[in-house]
Structure 1
Amino acid sequence: MSNHYHHLVFGPSALARQRAKGSYTAYGAQTERGDDGPDELDGREKVIIRAADQFYLSTVTETGWPYVQYRSGPAGFLRVLDDHTLAFADFAGNNQYVTAGNLDANDRVALIVVDYPRRQRVKIYGRATVVEGSADPALLERLRQVPGGTVESRCERSVVISVEAIDWNCTRSIIPRYDQDYVRRMGALYERDAAAREKVLLDRIAELEARLE
């Protein structure tokens, strides 16, 4: 397992708390060996990213504060360009330009991508470059293309992220949520395949019985 994430996020104070609370062996001890360097996206990460229609994006303000945005779009708008690179078309917003301005001064970003029905979430750290649409219109047009067609919203620029580190979070605190498209697809599955419907129900019963025990 790569330890690049641990080297990025575990400072002396975090390590001190881990030692005091008994979790250092599970986490901080990873920093005792040299930094493995940037992580690469594997199949599991690519699946959750390509299916995402929303994510949270954090940048660093010039006053030193974190700035978090909620980004949403059609599934697939956050693109996997290769094993080390993500990108998305930046939709026109409220003209505050806080994220773009932050990236002009400090290219560090953090993303959280959540799959609510499956209770999965992944944190991605990276360095982002802002590419104005006028500087590379072909890239922006490429990023506007999604599996369902073309993003109709006005897009001003591209944001390209070089991935540094990846960490999958515990699923315990994720509250499942189901959007209309998910419910529609599950309903179609039930109608099409009675055996599948029965298996889903039996699996759910088994899960609840295990929780009761």
Structure 2
Amino acid sequence: MATTEIKTLDQLRELTGEPAERAKRKIIDRIDDHARTLIAHSPLVLLATASAEGTCDVSPRGDPAGSVLVLDDQTLVIADRPGNKLHDSLTNIIVNPHVGLLFVVPAMNETLRVNGRAKLVSDAPFFESLVVKGKRPDLAIVVEVQQLYMHCAKAFLRSGLWNQETWPDRATLPTLGTIFKDQIADLPVTAEELDASLEERNRTLQY
């Protein structure tokens, strides 16, 4: 069966139509009171970045709700916590400051989308407000907001994300240790040993 590829904007619009006027008008250029409320209640934000060549990356950023700072109507700050040190997002931001954010609030099907320009900072007066469990981050991501808007509930409703009846039995899924063992050649440890090490790292989560 032949594949029909959409290659132009005209083809796309002919197939899907134009956005409604309300959809276009919902995009604002500032952090309003409603956005502040949602950001304050969001413990998870997805950070999308791209390299200079256009290679994209999406990274989850999690902290206790309220940890993302809103400095003013145009600026928010996300602490960078310890990770695997690949620094995909951070290296992308250095060469290409354009970022996209998706704020998720537990049990809420709507999400908050933010597009803007980011920079990395290693010190600023607000760093003391980024301390969690006594740990001050080495870096923070400062985002200048250019677009902000609400994303409707359809994706979360279709996925049934918050409906526990749709959740798979965790025992039927591979453990991370099993995945690493299969994907990384010549690991000198067993999947069980990897799982035990990962469980210990999670138990003593570092900030």
Q: Name the TM tier (shorter chain).
A: 0.5 to 0.7
Separation in 2 of the partners of 1:74 and 1:57?
Answer: 16
| Cα separation, 1, equivalents of 2:100 and 2:89 | 12
* Number of positions where the alignment pairs a residue of Structure 1 with one of Structure 2: 154
**Partner Cα distance (2:47, 2:54) in 1:** 16
1:55·1:71 contact (CA, 8 Å) conserved in 2? Answer: yes
Distance in 1 of aligned mates of 2:57 and 2:30 = 25
With normalisation by structure 1, the TM-score equals 0.63
**1:139 aligned to which of 116, 126, 129:** 126
Report matched runs for 1:1-213 at 5 Å.
13-14=8-9, 16-18=11-13, 20-21=14-15, 23-24=17-18, 26=20, 39-133=29-123, 136=124, 138-144=125-131, 150-153=132-135, 155-174=137-156, 175-177=160-162
% identical equivalent positions? 25
Q: Is the 8 A contact 1:123 1:169 kept in 2?
A: yes
1:38 is displaced (CA, Å) by 6.8
Give the RMSD, CA atoms, in angstroms.
2.9
Question: Which blocks of at least 5 consecutive residues in structure 2 are unaligned?
Answer: 1-6, 165-207
What secondary structure sits across from 2:155 in the alignment?
coil
Q: 1 CA distance for matches of 2:39 and 2:71?
A: 11
**SS in structure 2 at match of 1:142:** helix
Preserved CA contact (<8 Å) 1:59 1:103: yes
Q: 1:124-174, CA deviations, whole angstroms, 9 ceiling, x for partnerless residues?
A: 1010110014xx3x3322222xxxxx4445511111100010122120221
Provide TM-score, normalisation by structure 2.
0.65
Distance of 1:13 and 1:153 partners within structure 2: 49
Note the residue ranges of structure 1 that are not aligned, 5 or more in a row: 1-11, 32-36, 145-149, 180-213
